[in-house]
Amino acid sequence: YEVVPATFVDRTELKCRTPPLERAAPGFGLEWSSLSSQHRRHPHPVSGSTRLFPGAHWYPHYAQRLVKFDISNNGQDFSDSGLTFLYQAPATVSTVTPKHYGVSVGNDQMRPGLFITGANFVNSTTLRCRVGEDVIEATYLLPTLVMC
């Protein structure tokens, strides 16, 4: 495990940086697993489920690792919160198609979708693309393909 310093924000919040996976889970790298196979230690108080992503499917598998998260006021006595933190391989982009298209001022025609190929895309409702200053919703197609 790795102990990292935390910054006091207020009586209910601390901030800290996540350590590199190599220090958070020594001897363990990322593993291929589904989001639905990730479980918390204690059941959710409302649903009673231990699944972190109860609506997730068993496929596809992602490069990820779940690690335990606890906190200490003195660096020795740590909580037994049952909380976890999920490391995932960073998404990378290799190509964007089409490379360009014409823009007409005042034209309300739908612009074509952008197809993004790369690696480690996650099927998430919060998946987004940033094009210039605009952040737009993205649609997951494959772990290697997204449409914006």
Is the pLDDT reported for residue 93 higher than 90?
yes
pLDDT at 52: 86
pLDDT at 110: 59
For residue 148 the two structure tokens come to: 């914006």
Cα(85)–Cα(79) distance, integer angstroms: 15
Distances (CA, A) of 129 to 114, 126, 136: 10, 10, 5
Q: Which of 53-57, 124-128, 137-141 has the lowest mean pLDDT?
A: 53-57
Mean pLDDT of 106-135: 82
Mean pLDDT of 62-70: 87
pLDDT at 106: 53
Cα(139)–Cα(146) distance, integer angstroms: 6
pTM comes to 0.68
Mean pLDDT of 38-65: 85
∠ Cα 86 3 22 (to 5°): 55
Q: Which residues pair with 115 in a beta bridge?
A: 97, 147
